Amino acid sequence: MGDLTLLFILFAPFAGAIALIFVSNRQTMLVRGIAAGSAFVSLLASLYLFYAYDPVKGGFQFVQRFEWSRQLGISLHLGVDGIGTPLVLASSILLFAGIFVSWHIKDRTKEFYIWLLILAAATIGVFMSLDLFFLFFFYEMSVIPMYLLLGMWGSHTKTYNEMTDPEGLKLRDSVGFIFNFGSNSKEYAAMKLVLFLSAFAVAALMGILLIYKYSGLNTFDILVLREQAKLMNIPVLGTTLDKIIWILIFFGFASIAPLWPLHSWSPVGHAAAPAATSMLHAGVLMKLGHFSIIRVAFEILPETTRELMPIAAVLCMFSIVYGGFVAFYAKDTKYVIGYSSSSHMGYVFLGMAALDYISLTGAVMYMFAHAMATGMLFAMAGWVYDQTHTRDIPSLGGLSNRMPFISGCFVVGCMASIGVPGTVNFIAEVMIIVGSWNKYPLQVIVAVVGIVLTLAYLFKMMRGLFYGPMDQKYSHAHDAVSLPDRLPLLIMISVSIGFFFFPMHLYDVVRSGVDPLIAKITRVVPVASHDREPSAVKHEARAASPQDLAALPGDSPLTPYVSRSDQ
Amino acid sequence: MTDLLIKLIPLFPLLAVILNGFLGRRYSHETAHRLAWGSVGLSFLSTIAVFVDILRTGTSHEVIAYQWIFGGDLSINLAYLVDPLTCIMLLVVTGVGLLIHIYSVGYMHGESGFTRFFTYMNLFMVSMLLLVMGNNYVVLFIGWEGVGLCSYLLIGYYYDKVSAAKAASKAFVVNRIGDAGFLLAIFLVFVNFKTLDYTKVFAQIGLLSPEMATAIALCLLVGAVGKSAQIPLYTWLPDAMEGPTPVSALIHAATMVTAGVYMIVRNHVIFDSSPTAMAIVGIIGGITALFAATIGLVQTDIKRVLAYSTVSQLGYMFLGCGIGAYTAAIFHLMTHAFFKALLFLTAGSVIHALSGEQDIRKMGGLSSKIPWTHRLFLIGTIAIAGIPPLAGFWSKDEILAHAFTHHHYLLYGMAALGALLTSFYMFRLMYLTFYGTSRMDHHTEEHVHESPMVMVGPLMVLGVLSILGGFLGFPPEHGWLHQFLEPVAGLGGEHAVSTGLVLTLMMVATGIALLGWALAHYFYSVNLSAPDRLAEQFRAAYTTLLNKYYIDELYDLIWVEPTKTVGRWLDWFDRVVIDGLVHAVAQLADLVAAASTWAEKYVIYGGLNAIGYGNHLAARQWRQLQSGMVHHYAAVIVAGIFLLAVIVQLIMQL
């Protein structure tokens, strides 16, 4: 495969989606086979990518470039660095697992798989785009399938069902119905999710266009922009342009992350979505936000990032605590997992905000780890829903008898989500917290308390679902017995546990992406220094490579690969 | 060779976990339990080999088993440090663990989930071995969390019982509160030393400021308090008795709950540099020792009495740590592992004999029906009560003596009073269970039977250890154990103490223990049945007894009842105030969560929906423009053209 690996990963799901168009919905096994096959090709290529990525060399590898519009400076420029590689792998693992989780979907199977494949492929596209135009293109492309997946294959909340008759007609007056939080239908969720994300995507798009216009380089290419864009010190509206761009980019992308208070689309969306969609949505779609902020804001505006990243440090605390408390109160399994995801994304923001080698590495590893953990939990919540047709925790209970396999996996899922040693989440969580301690001790304490909170609500949910006496009406519920039913859980569990015992390659890969980035952000001489002419300072800083910068006086040692070869 | 053996010690049970966990359903229960205890047995043999080697050469071993994360500024290995301290812990964990595994084969016979039980037990062994063997804080923490997880799984073993599920969650959550403190301690260590290896950290201890040392020590203490069930985080341990009895013996008496003590002794260098933290450790230990003992007086569940006694005994170990008697703490940890495992397992044997009955008010007179269980329980009781020459006496006396000779008179007083109560409630348990008249119902009584050999055998070994284990620390302060642990824990008392004082203290301790026994005997045996018979045999003694009867009433009035009342009150305090505090926090969390949800509902969602609804209303008005009548459109078009013409005209004029 060699250099074409990225094309395989990206276009295998698209090819599968196109092939599915020509298949009849009556040939169910063929439909599933094509979907699984294309996802499998993508998965194999991602595995190859992950292990063939050379962390010693670092930088962007497997680069592919196809000119699209010379006049506008747009090209399909693909490449992965140490940050993108594990996320590509996580996406293809979750896609493959998601195909099997939705194995029993009877209604319009073909269409479901088409949209699922497009959703995953678009997500993967963001992780490997080196061109701002295509980054945004894939980003938008990943939001649209959500609308259809939620609206057509989703499920209503309990309150909605209580407030409507079987035909879906309202039993209450319309204002009360609209204003009632609990009454969201799947259509409401779909609408809200797409509108919310699109609205904020517009902000990000404005940021991207401002970069394009004011860099004056006539290109969307991130590699060119990060070396040559001069966006600093252009006064606009009483502040400087780079700050405005940074704010637009940050909040534009942070909405999908989701950073408090921009999270309200997410739990509703999770709850309404079918299991496989929730998995991809919480597992990788949310990470698009963090990834895009790293790729755009960190790479192109490093100085501004250093100045403004404390914003994230403040907001992440709210994310962690608030999400945790609401999850504790929630009665709907998917709401609990949804709020827990938004709480956990606060940890990633904390790791990013500290701008430290260890903490950012931890943040990226946490994204990977959380993808597996939350993927498991959503897959199992989906299984329980399929079997019992309810997500209401108080009315469930005692399912351990009926589903020993699922309940066993649920324990593992909860442990992974909490970050108990034995799962890769532990490593990531500890790295975030250790790395952030020097800069944000208060946030670290909040984060540690947040872990206890996570434990409390996950255990409450686990007890509510699986232990205690069982209602007789669930006596027909089945365990996951066949291979297609068990496979997705087994894959995610083994990945989560496997990377705990063998984290070295993952660590190296992520570190190779994080090191030059942090070196660039933290080692440049402050722009605000008045005794030197600003542009000259920047010029020097840009000319220096990360290795040179490492030699500057400072406390943090760098280039782990050198020291490794010494050992 | 030794290095290889060290690496193998945790590997054997891990292998059994993998085999039983994945293939357990393919083969019979016999194969599963043989694998389970066989693997622990192999670990025990390896431990002995390592122990002999260390004994001969006197060097400790540091072995890197697996390079886990390394590179530049961060390097964490799965590495083992086997020094005398670890050696003692390893011998206790694998030795007692092996006996309990063998016992479980009989106890769990015929239970559903037999293989699952042994898988969890072996997983626990792996975690516990990692905990005591690790050479850095991360491995310690991994083991620490691992044992917590296994404890959770095993308490909730009977998952369809609501109380078991609740107890399991409670144990994990309360432990996790402690773990949060421990985690913070690890961060502080890393931030200060840039390494997490014990040897490197302890070598640089001089660089630490006293405030930072106190901070780290207190954070470590929070972790230890959670795991070792000390005030105020002990409430989970009595509830944890919902698990099967071998679990209570292995995890909640002999090994896991002592992890906190091990951790403090391991980090004693940090504690030594902070007198404040030391004082707090000692006070927590002293209060817990006394407090838990008072609660033990009024419990009626055989396992709960033992649970409170465990909490109390752990308090003695903490007290020992707090006054710098580390060797004595480890000594007591060891002897406690012997006699408390013995007590729990014999209690299990009683429960087994009575078809699951745990209430001591429904027992009595069992000594003749289950003689072996009775004898062994008696040995355990004498050992824990601190009557020489059994194991408990030597270790407990050493802590008490150390407290006295180092002028911690308050702590000594607490510990001595606790010892009296311990002796009293243990013998009370003994009398109510084994002596007197039977209070069992007829059906249960018919089925009483002695346990099979596979259960009694391990009990006998533990009985022997409970009798002889104390001589490892004989003579006090200069025994074999003290010399062996000297490189790690130091000798404790440097200044010489006169033999006379030591002997006096010993006699006092013995007296206290015997007094407890005598009181128990008096209240639970003598005044129940003895008066009539004794009155006829010894007429001279009769009046004395009669008088004593009045004294008994008096004692009852001024001592027993208040003691019981205080015990009951503390039990109430335990249930209402301390549990209430936990509930209050939960309620508060609930309240904040409700408030957050309210804000979510009416502010954030409401705001968004208001925008949406406003849009909807506007649209409803605007759609009236779309009337569908051609003349309306024509009128609008004409008006528009006219407007446009006016605008163009105006612009042209500008």
pLDDT averaged per 10 residues, chain B (length 654):
88 92 83 91 93 87 82 76 91 93 88 87 93 91 90 85 81 84 88 86 86 91 91 82 88 90 92 90 91 78 88 92 90 92 91 83 82 90 88 89 88 91 88 82 79 86 90 80 80 64 87 88 71 53 43 49 53 54 68 84 81 84 79 86 91 80
Whether residue A176 is found in the same domain as residue A309 = yes
Rounded Cα gap, residues A274 and B589, in angstroms: 30
The 3-class secondary structure across A242-306, one letter per residue, is: HHHHHHHHHHHHHCCCCCCCCCCHHHHHHHHCCHHHHHHHHHHHHHHHHHHHHHHHHHHCHHHHH
Two tokens, residue B75? 């390097």
Contact predicate B281/B231, CB 8 Å: no
Does residue B417 belong to the interface with chain A, where contact is any CB pair within 8 Å? no
Per-residue pLDDT, A544: 42
Number of residues assigned to chain B: 654
State how far Cα B225 lies from the chain centre.
9
Distance, in angstroms, between B630 CA and closest chain A CA?
A: 33
Least CB-CB distance to B589: which of A328, A455, A563?
Answer: A328
Whether residue A515 is found in the same domain as residue A530 = no
Per-residue pLDDT band for A558 (boundaries 50, 70, 90) equals very low
A506-531, pLDDT tens digit by residue? 988 988 888 888 888 886 544 443 44
Give the up-direction half-sphere exposure of residue A270: CA atoms within 13 A in the CB hemisphere.
33
Rounded Cα gap, residues B257 and B487, in angstroms: 25
Distance, in angstroms, between A403 CA and closest chain B CA?
A: 13
Whether residue A556 is found in the same domain as residue A440 = no
Q: A460–B592: do the CB atoms touch at under 8 Å?
A: no
B156 burial (CB, 10 Å; 0-12 / 13-18 / 19+) is buried
Lowest mean pLDDT among A161-175, A207-221, A310-324, A539-553: A539-553
Residues of chain A in contact with residue B21, where contact means CB-CB under 8 angstroms, are: none
The SS3 call for residue B485 is: helix
A266-312, pLDDT tens digit by residue? 877 888 888 888 899 888 889 999 999 999 888 888 888 888 888 88
Residues of chain A in contact with residue B156, where contact means CB-CB under 8 angstroms, are: 467
Whether residue A513 is found in the same domain as residue A443 = yes
Contact predicate B191/B208, CB 8 Å: no
Contact predicate A163/A180, CB 8 Å: yes
Whether residue A403 is found in the same domain as residue A279 = yes
Least CB-CB distance to B145: which of A398, A420, A511?
Answer: A420
- Mark which residues 281-300 of A lie under 8 Å from B by CB: none
Q: A427–B69: do the CB atoms touch at under 8 Å?
A: yes
Rounded Cα gap, residues B588 and A281, in angstroms: 32
Q: Which residues contact B654 (CB under 8 A, 6 or more apart)?
A: none
**Residue where a domain terminates, one of A488, A506, A522:** A522
A362-403, pLDDT tens digit by residue? 999 999 999 999 999 999 998 888 888 888 888 888 788 788
CB crowding B524-542: b at 16 or more within 10 Å, else e = bbbbeeeeeeeeeeeeeee
- Mark which residues 590-649 of B lie under 8 Å from A by CB: 590, 592-594, 596-597, 600-602, 604-606, 608-610, 612-613
Residue A548 clears pLDDT 60, i.e. is over it: no
A52 burial (CB, 10 Å; 0-12 / 13-18 / 19+) is middle
Q: Which residues contact B132 (CB under 8 A, 6 or more apart)?
A: B86, B89, B90, B93, B143, B259, B262
Does residue A400 belong to the interface with chain B, where contact is any CB pair within 8 Å? yes
- Mark which residues 176-195 of A lie under 8 Å from B by CB: 178-179, 181, 192
Does residue A421 belong to the interface with chain B, where contact is any CB pair within 8 Å? yes
Contact predicate B131/B146, CB 8 Å: yes
Whether residue A53 is found in the same domain as residue A190 = yes
State whether ipTM is beyond 0.90: no
Q: Which DSSP helix (H) or strand (E) runs through A94?
A: helix A84-101
Candidates A383, A487, A496; CA nearest to A97 is A487
Rounded Cα gap, residues A334 and A277, in angstroms: 12
For chain A, the maximum distance between any two Cα atoms, rounded to a whole number of angstroms, is: 78
Whether residue A350 is found in the same domain as residue A221 = yes
Rounded Cα gap, residues A409 and A391, in angstroms: 18
Rounded Cα gap, residues B254 and B100, in angstroms: 10
Per-residue pLDDT, B599: 83
Distance, in angstroms, between B374 CA and closest chain A CA?
A: 36
Q: What is the CA radius of gyration of chain A?
A: 23
Q: B72–A557: do the CB atoms touch at under 8 Å?
A: yes
Rounded Cα gap, residues B333 and B91, in angstroms: 12
Whether residue A531 is found in the same domain as residue A398 = no
Rounded Cα gap, residues B184 and B186, in angstroms: 5
> What type of residue sits at position A415?
M
Residue A2 clears pLDDT 80, i.e. is over it: no
- The arithmetic mean of pLDDT across residues A243-257, rounded, is 89
Does residue A214 belong to the interface with chain B, where contact is any CB pair within 8 Å? no
A452-507, pLDDT tens digit by residue? 778 878 887 888 888 877 778 887 888 878 888 889 999 999 999 999 888 888 98
Rounded Cα gap, residues B583 and B585, in angstroms: 5
- Mark which residues 508-537 of A lie under 8 Å from B by CB: 508, 511
Distance, in angstroms, between B64 CA and closest chain A CA?
A: 14
Give the up-direction half-sphere exposure of residue B125: CA atoms within 13 A in the CB hemisphere.
35
Per-residue pLDDT band for A169 (boundaries 50, 70, 90) equals low
Q: A463–B166: do the CB atoms touch at under 8 Å?
A: yes
- Mark which residues 153-212 of B lie under 8 Å from A by CB: 153, 156, 159-160, 162, 165-166, 169, 172-173, 176-177, 180, 183-184, 187, 190-191
Instruction: Indicate the number of domains in chain A.
Output: 2
Q: B187–A322: do the CB atoms touch at under 8 Å?
A: no
Q: What is the DSSP string of B607-643?
A: HHHHHHHHHHHHHHHHGGG----HHHHHHHHHHHHHH
CB pairs under 8 A between A and B: 135
Does residue A504 belong to the interface with chain B, where contact is any CB pair within 8 Å? yes
Q: What is the DSSP string of A456-506?
A: HHHHHHHHHHHSS---GGGTT-----SHHHHHHHHHHHHHHHHHHHS-HHH
Q: B609–A179: do the CB atoms touch at under 8 Å?
A: yes
Candidates A86, A129, A8, A124; CA nearest to A512 is A86
Does residue A402 belong to the interface with chain B, where contact is any CB pair within 8 Å? no
Per-residue pLDDT band for A332 (boundaries 50, 70, 90) equals confident
Whether residue A456 is found in the same domain as residue A556 = no
Two tokens, residue A419? 């970050």
Whether residue A85 is found in the same domain as residue A234 = yes
Q: B176–A438: do the CB atoms touch at under 8 Å?
A: no
Taken in order B225, B227, B228, B232, the sign of the CA dihedral is positive
Does residue A455 belong to the interface with chain B, where contact is any CB pair within 8 Å? yes
The SS3 call for residue B459 is: helix
Structural domain including A547 reads 526-567
- Mark which residues 336-395 of A lie under 8 Å from B by CB: 357-358
DSSP-derived secondary structure letter, A66: E
Residues of chain B in contact with residue A467, where contact means CB-CB under 8 angstroms, are: 156, 159-160, 162, 165
Least CB-CB distance to B609: which of A178, A444, A466?
Answer: A178
Rounded Cα gap, residues B481 and B487, in angstroms: 11
In the numeric block, the tokens 């790479």 are attached to A299
Q: Phi and psi at residue A62, in whole multiples of 5°?
A: 55, 40
| Comparison of pLDDT for B202 and A181, the residue scoring more | B202
The SS3 call for residue A510 is: helix
Tell me how crowded residue B252 is: count the other CB atoms within 10 A of its CB: 29
Helix, strand, coil percentages (3-state) for chain B, rounded to 5, are 80, 5, 15
- Mark which residues 489-528 of B lie under 8 Å from A by CB: none
In the numeric block, the tokens 């009560």 are attached to B385
Taken in order A278, A282, A283, A287, the sign of the CA dihedral is positive
Per-residue pLDDT, B424: 87
Whether residue A514 is found in the same domain as residue A549 = no
Long-range contact set of residues A358-361: C-beta below 8 Å, sequence gap at least 24: A358/A431, A358/A434, A358/A435, A358/B73, A358/B74, A359/A431, A359/A432, A359/A434, A359/A435, A359/A436, A360/A435, A360/A514, A360/A517, A360/A518, A361/A431, A361/A435, A361/A507, A361/A510, A361/A511, A361/A514
> In the predicted model, what is the mean pLDDT of chain A?
82
Candidates A294, A113, A289, A268; CA nearest to A195 is A268
Least CB-CB distance to B160: which of A401, A561, A564?
Answer: A401
Candidates A315, A300, A299, A303; CA nearest to A349 is A315
- Mark which residues 317-336 of A lie under 8 Å from B by CB: 322, 325-326, 328-330
Residue A175 clears pLDDT 60, i.e. is over it: no
Whether residue A472 is found in the same domain as residue A550 = no
Residue A260 clears pLDDT 80, i.e. is over it: no
Q: What is the CA radius of gyration of chain B?
A: 32
The residues pairing with B136 across neighbouring beta strands, listed in sequence order, are B197
Q: B176–A451: do the CB atoms touch at under 8 Å?
A: yes
Taken in order A446, A447, A452, A456, the sign of the CA dihedral is positive
Does residue A199 belong to the interface with chain B, where contact is any CB pair within 8 Å? no
Q: B70–A449: do the CB atoms touch at under 8 Å?
A: no
Global confidence as pTM: 0.77
Candidates B456, B245, B256; CA nearest to B337 is B256
Distance, in angstroms, between B65 CA and closest chain A CA?
A: 12
Find the closest chain B residue to A426 by CA distance: B142
The residues pairing with A199 across neighbouring beta strands, listed in sequence order, are none
